[in-house]
Structure 1
């Protein structure tokens, strides 16, 4: 049975804003949970276990979890539903972009994976890491170079936009760990993280063409010595502020992309927070994925729920509906 951290739930008080929120564990731990996507119509949360090459879906209604293992892949980065295609998804695994046909739980049909395209064909050690779809259904997926010990080689990755199997464009390079991304409310800005730099970058974004230019740094974690780890996954809220998971920092943070100010820090019951997404019936819950891949025995005894997905409620903020893929 899934229980909340320390067998009940963690209540954190935000003294500065005189309000409280709760952090609850909603799934069992896995090795390295990543890439969450909230599907508003079905009220399901999708996420992956990166190095176990497995995708998951968790039902908000019945709290049940299903999984599908990608047998011929070593890693999986993200899973994104395809617009107007029930139970069809884009999965970015290794260097491959695939279509997953994943039947509903009451359907006995077997799941099927179809290869669509590949990137970084001259870099066999590369893999997809994180990504999203923009409002036109274009995929934005980033890569990195993975060493045999799972460490990351510097400047081996890129950020791609993908409109179809033969419509793939490299948008930014070189990147070490292409990671979290999202857009401003007016879609004139693309925000992107290269984790190794510990910075959040902003690009001018053309919604129609998908062009990005005029890169500038809007937040540097090195300016906040009290914060540990590196910035990982990222999501924007309805006010246009950015929420960032700190991998190795036991926290998620909220930043204002217009001023670069750190607005809020929420400590988490897991050292390695990997990503986050707004969900729930009113998009007022933040689901945070975490990892236990690098957790030592002492840390695991202190945070036994590391690797779980956590739900943060009563934050007083709502998110935006994520876009589905059109491909």
Structure 2
């Protein structure tokens, strides 16, 4: 039996959930507030990191741990990728400045910002940007962003251009397919993926939201389960959908308590809990009174399926220490 419960929140624009198996906690961000959260569902402990913004903006759009350094996190800070230090024994609320900025991008589009990010099977960091967003969620300056790959040697490469709103990322367990969402194409796409080099090729559509009758839902964050099926958060849609990419069809839908669902990840001791973030952004006061759990973080159990362990950023400690010095 499927069960949904709120485990944290509310926040204004929750995003980027990442399960930390070593410490059995959930990392996620509040983008517009510039905050990172660390939630321990088993104990209800909750820590809150305020990251001071830099010259490329103050939004914090993603958070990913650095492998072998549990006190270091990589975050999207405006148009920059930065490293912050957050010890596990830190106070429940802490304000920090970045230890260093690894890269800044999109200088020719200064109102852009980073959005979703994830690490591939080899530990490279993939992060995409989006155009300027106005007062209405999902309405952005089109085709101004890109999808970037940061290698374990910290070199950066733009892999996909003319992105409007970069979002969900996932890799197949055989390391041959990369799944990707540019939200404003209203589709979930696939690429051939070369794990040795990180190169992409042969972009094609897995699911067309308009053809599937899902619009006005907007595809947002995404993760993959052990069966190779994709779980996609539907902003505006109050649900998470499960897609079988081998046939390009929706095989399951799970309704959530929040209309603006933003992202998903697998977690828990056996990776059988689907964690879901949501947003209050764009909801009127009247709507918020009705949908009182908007902006919450939810745990969905009883789905009968398990996810895959997450991957951390596998940069060498020596190289990172040199950049932070």
TM over 0.5: yes
Q: Which residue of 1 aligns with 2:224?
A: 236
Deviation at residue 268 of structure 1 after TM alignment: 1.1
Q: 1:131 aligns with which of 102, 117, 120?
A: 117
Write the deviation string for residues 140-167 of structure 1: whole angstroms up to 9, x where unpaired.
Answer: 0000111454641111110010015751
Moved more, 308-317 or 294-303: 294-303
Write the deviation string for residues 184-243 of structure 1: whole angstroms up to 9, x where unpaired.
Answer: 110100000010011011000000100100000010111222564100000000111000
Q: 1:257 aligns with which of 236, 245, 251?
A: 245
Q: 2:132 aligns with which of 125, 146, 149?
A: 146
Matched, 1:80 2:67: no
Q: Distance in 2 between matches of 1:77 and 1:233?
A: 12
Deviation at residue 271 of structure 1 after TM alignment: 0.6
Q: Say which SS state the counterpart of residue 301 (structure 1) adopts.
A: helix
Q: Distance in 2 between matches of 1:148 and 1:262?
A: 31
Moved more, 139-148 or 24-33: 139-148
Q: Distance in 2 between matches of 1:266 and 1:198?
A: 19
Matched, 1:118 2:104: yes
Q: Which residue of 2 aligns with 1:60?
A: 41
User: Structure 1 pair 107/289, CA: closer, same or farther in 2 (3 Å)?
Assistant: closer
What are the ranges of 5 or more consecutive residues in structure 1 without an aligned counterpart? Answer: 1-19
Q: Distance in 2 between matches of 1:227 and 1:215?
A: 22
Q: 2:254 aligns with which of 260, 266, 273?
A: 266
Moved more, 64-73 or 245-254: 64-73
List aligned pairs for 1:186-197, cutoff 5 A. 186-197=174-185
Q: Please identify runs of 4+ aligned residues in structure 1 that moved more than 6 A.
A: 107-110
Q: Distance in 1 between matches of 2:81 and 2:25?
A: 22
TM-score, normalising length: structure 1: 0.90
Q: Distance in 1 between matches of 2:91 and 2:220?
A: 35
